């Protein structure tokens, strides 16, 4: 045995020894971490300590990264609490309502322990014996929830970025195969691929462009369609664009519909887009990273109508499903489409295994080593239950509606989406007699000061060139009174900053 591991004074045998002492080390270590986190959480309502970035950086630069002889977990945990944990963003705070960044469910966090302790890897069956089939069942369940046909399939991903990339990758390769009989995986892109185009709304996620760039099509391949007054893709504009592309001899091969845009939570007319896609032989990818959770809603289930007609779907669980990062899925209506990313490695998923019916999930993923993230979603769905999931999601949507209505009524505020479809509200402090330029500055200062004081974290974004504040109300523990308080605070800060200008 390695000398240092034998030493009696070595505080932690760092592996999972199966004797009593080993198990004790394991449970004791967890207890220390539990207590450290409990200290952070207890009585902590604030989204952030308020420290400035340069201060954090300077403090962290003082810390040693490695220690020669090793330290006790207690002392490292204490140091982490002081320097890392206590100044982290507190996603559990009811006023941490900036980004699509959710509070996590306790059963999901507990499942993370199982995931990390068992450390199954989803690429080949012999690294994930039961986990492979748990993931497969979850995928089947999700396909059913989305209303996809019998041939549907899917895989867990690291999130929406990866899922969107996969959707466009399969769409591109399916098109090249069908239209030009070109196998892109073997031969690369044909010359005419320069003409390929992707259509999405101007409010679609930036990863559509990023994917196009990475897929060798260039960002030039992405044509953005104007949105209507409700920030949804305009079907009229879509039809006009399609006509224009035809005239220019360009080749639209994919439409990306967004079910829940990142800023407004608006939902593109998916059923209409499905019809257009079908009529034109175009792949429909639905980016439901945010809005996919409406599958579980009771009151707003209607809003995901049309999703069942997609060729592929992105769903994120580390947003409105309250899962720890990272956790997402990519679904396809026809499992045969995964052929475009097939690769047989002798050591991992040889062809002969396939003939014997062995399941190796690497066949459906662009990752190789991959986490057993399906487990935390499963554990959450079982422990929390579908009734509570529906209630939580519906509550946050009602809260956003109430919040938008409340802000709309206030003098000196402007709401961009007074009837939010999901739970995001975009608004701005905009008192009379203040120029647009000054209002931009005031909103920036307000957002910064709310964070610095630890009162609330709102995101800031831009719309038509102007600065807006955004509340993403994912947390079912946030109440309308919290929002009322924040509005009061915004008014006070706004008046103060405005006065300092004069
Ligand atoms: C969050 C989001 C993404 C990106 O997903 P990640 O999980 O952050 O990779 C893509 N599309 C939409 C609409 C999103 O809201």
| CATH number where 402 lies | 3.90.1150.10
What is the arithmetic mean of pLDDT over 30-58?
Answer: 97
Task: Give the model's pLDDT for residue 355.
Answer: 87
User: Given the CA of residue 319, which atom of ligand 1 is nearest to it?
Assistant: 1
For residue 193, what are the β-bridge partners? Answer: none
d(CA 108, CA 389): 13
Q: What pTM was computed for the model? A: 0.96
Question: Of 384, 416, 432, which marks where a domain is finished?
Answer: 384
The widest CA-to-CA distance across the chain, in whole angstroms, is 79
| Residue 310, both tokens | 């997609």
258 lines ligand 1 (CB under 6 A): yes
Task: Give the model's pLDDT for residue 9.
Answer: 46
Domain co-membership, 246 together with 372 = yes
> Looking at the predicted structure, is the pLDDT value of residue 297 above 50?
yes
| Residue 353, both tokens | 């295994």
What is the arithmetic mean of pLDDT over 271-275?
Answer: 98
In a domain, 246, yes or no: yes
Residues 158-179: pLDDT tens digits? 999 999 999 999 999 999 999 9
Assign 157 to helix, strand or coil. Answer: strand
201 lines ligand 1 (CB under 6 A): no
Handedness of CA 51, 57, 61, 63 (dihedral sign): positive
Domain co-membership, 305 together with 333 = yes
* DSSP character at residue 226: P
Domain co-membership, 411 together with 496 = yes
Residues 163, 290: contact at Cβ < 8 Å?
no
In a domain, 96, yes or no: no
Domain co-membership, 212 together with 296 = yes
Task: Give the model's pLDDT for residue 8.
Answer: 45
Residues 402-448: pLDDT tens digits? 999 999 999 999 999 999 999 999 999 999 999 999 999 999 999 99
Domain co-membership, 333 together with 452 = no
Question: Of 32, 57, 90, which marks where a domain is finished?
Answer: 90
472 lines ligand 1 (CB under 6 A): no
Task: Give the model's pLDDT for residue 17.
Answer: 85
Question: How deeply is 404 buried, as exposed, middle or buried, from its count of CB atoms within 10 A (0-12, 13-18, 19+)?
Answer: buried
Q: Which residues have a Cβ under 8 Å from the Cβ of 19 and sit 6 or more positions away?
A: none
Q: State in Å: Cα 314 to ligand 1 middle.
A: 9
Phi and psi at 22, nearest 5°, equal -65, -45
In a domain, 150, yes or no: yes
Domain co-membership, 158 together with 54 = no
Nearest to 459 by CA among 54, 206, 89: 89
| Residue 354 confidence class, pLDDT cut points 50, 70, 90 | confident
Which CATH number do you get for residue 33? 1.20.1650.10
Structural domains counted in the chain:
3
Domain co-membership, 79 together with 161 = no
328 lines ligand 1 (CB under 6 A): yes
In a domain, 49, yes or no: yes
Task: Give the model's pLDDT for residue 36.
Answer: 98
Assign 297 to helix, strand or coil. Answer: coil
Handedness of CA 406, 411, 413, 416 (dihedral sign): positive
In a domain, 81, yes or no: yes
421 lines ligand 1 (CB under 6 A): no
Domain co-membership, 344 together with 418 = no
| Residue 6 confidence class, pLDDT cut points 50, 70, 90 | low
| Residue 397 confidence class, pLDDT cut points 50, 70, 90 | very high
Number of neighbours of residue 78 by Cβ within 10 angstroms: 14
Mutate to test the pocket of ligand 1, among 259, 261, 268, 314 (most ligand atoms within 8 A of CB): 314
Q: Can you give the residue range of the structural domain that contains 407?
A: 387-501
> Looking at the predicted structure, is the pLDDT value of residue 43 above 60?
yes
Residues 435-479: pLDDT tens digits? 999 999 999 999 999 999 999 999 999 999 999 999 999 999 999
> Looking at the predicted structure, is the pLDDT value of residue 118 above 50?
yes
Chain Cα centroid distance, residue 219: 22
Mutate to test the pocket of ligand 1, among 161, 200, 256, 267 (most ligand atoms within 8 A of CB): 161
Domain co-membership, 286 together with 145 = yes
Task: Give the model's pLDDT for residue 203.
Answer: 97
Task: Give the model's pLDDT for residue 5.
Answer: 62
Task: Give the model's pLDDT for residue 216.
Answer: 98
The residue whose two tokens read 């960002």 is 219
Q: State in Å: Cα 405 to ligand 1 middle.
A: 27
**Atom 5 of ligand 1, residue of closest alpha carbon:** 160
Phi and psi at 396, nearest 5°, equal -65, -30
> Looking at the predicted structure, is the pLDDT value of residue 138 above 70?
yes
> Looking at the predicted structure, is the pLDDT value of residue 37 above 70?
yes
In a domain, 108, yes or no: no
Task: Give the model's pLDDT for residue 371.
Answer: 98
Residues 93-106: pLDDT tens digits? 999 999 999 999 99
Domain co-membership, 301 together with 152 = yes
| Residue 3 confidence class, pLDDT cut points 50, 70, 90 | low
Mutate to test the pocket of ligand 1, among 102, 157, 204, 205 (most ligand atoms within 8 A of CB): 205
123 lines ligand 1 (CB under 6 A): no
What is the arithmetic mean of pLDDT over 270-294?
Answer: 98
- The strand pair at 413-415 and 424-429 is best described as antiparallel
Q: What is the mean pLDDT of the chain?
A: 96
266 lines ligand 1 (CB under 6 A): no
Chain Cα centroid distance, residue 454: 24
Q: State in Å: Cα 129 to ligand 1 middle.
A: 30
Question: Of 350, 384, 418, which marks where a domain is finished?
Answer: 384
- The strand pair at 459-463 and 251-258 is best described as unpaired
Domain co-membership, 168 together with 256 = yes
How many Å from the N-terminal Cα to the C-terminal Cα in the chain? 74
In a domain, 421, yes or no: yes
Which CATH number do you get for residue 265? 3.40.640.10
**Atom 10 of ligand 1, residue of closest alpha carbon:** 160
Domain co-membership, 363 together with 396 = no
- The strand pair at 466-472 and 459-463 is best described as antiparallel
In a domain, 475, yes or no: yes
């Amino acid at each position: 045995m390695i000398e240092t591991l034998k030493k009696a004074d070595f505080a932690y045998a760092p592996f999972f020894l199966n004797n009593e002492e080993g198990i004790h080390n394991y449970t004791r270590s967890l207890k220390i971490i539990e207590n450290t986190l409990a200290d952070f959480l207890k009585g902590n309502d604030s989204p952030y300590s308020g420290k400035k970035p340069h201060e954090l950086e300077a403090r962290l630069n003082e810390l040693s990264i490695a220690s020669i002889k090793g330290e006790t977990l207690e002392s490292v945990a204490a140091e982490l609490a002081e320097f890392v944990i206590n100044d982290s963003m507190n996603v559990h705070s009811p006023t941490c309502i900036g980004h699509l960044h959710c509070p996590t469910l306790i059963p999901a966090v507990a499942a993370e322990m199982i995931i990390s302790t068992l450390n199954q890897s989803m690429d080949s069956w012999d690294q994930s014996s039961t986990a492979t089939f748990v993931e497969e069942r979850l995928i089947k369940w999700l396909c059913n929830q989305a209303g996809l046909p019998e041939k549907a399939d899917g895989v867990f991903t690291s999130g929406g970025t990866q899922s969107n990339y996969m959707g466009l990758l399969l769409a591109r390769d399916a098109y090249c195969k069908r239209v030009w009989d070109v196998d892109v995986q073997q031969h690369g892109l044909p010359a005419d691929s320069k003409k390929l185009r992707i259509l999405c709304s101007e409010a679609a996620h930036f990863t559509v462009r990023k994917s196009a760039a990475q897929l060798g099509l260039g960002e030039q391949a992405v044509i953005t369609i104007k949105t209507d007054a409700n920030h949804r893709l305009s079907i009229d504009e879509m039809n006009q664009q399609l006509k224009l592309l035809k005239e220019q001899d360009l080749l639209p091969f994919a439409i990306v519909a967004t079910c829940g845009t990142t800023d407004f939570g608006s939902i593109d007319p998916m059923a209409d887009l499905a019809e257009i896609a079908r009529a034109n032989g175009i792949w429909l990818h639905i980016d439901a990273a945010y809005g996919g959770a409406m599958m579980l809603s009771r009151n707003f289930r209607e809003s995901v109508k049309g999703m069942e007609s997609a060729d592929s779907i992105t769903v994120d669980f580390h947003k409105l499903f309250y899962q720890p990062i990272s956790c997402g899925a990519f679904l396809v209506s026809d499992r045969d489409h995964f052929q475009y990313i097939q690769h047989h490695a002798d050591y991992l998923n040889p062809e002969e295994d396939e003939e014997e019916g062995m399941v190796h999930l690497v066949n459906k993923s662009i990752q190789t080593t991959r986490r057993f993230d399906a487990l935390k979603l499963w554990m959450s769905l079982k422990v929390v239950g579908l009734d509570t999931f529906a209630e939580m999601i519906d509550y946050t949507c009602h809260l956003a509606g109430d919040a938008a209505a409340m802000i709309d009524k206030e003098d000196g505020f402007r709401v961009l989406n007074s009837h939010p479809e999901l739970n995001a509200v975009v608004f701005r402090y905009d008192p009379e007699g203040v120029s647009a330029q000054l209002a931009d500055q005031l909103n920036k200062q307000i957002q910064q000061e709310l964070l610095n004081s630890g009162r609330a974290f709102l995101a800031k974004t831009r719309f038509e060139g102007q600065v807006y504040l955004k509340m993403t109300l994912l947390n079912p523990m946030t109440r309308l009174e919290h929002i009322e308080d924040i509005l009061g605070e915004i008014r006070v800060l706004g008046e103060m900053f405005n006065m300092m200008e004069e």
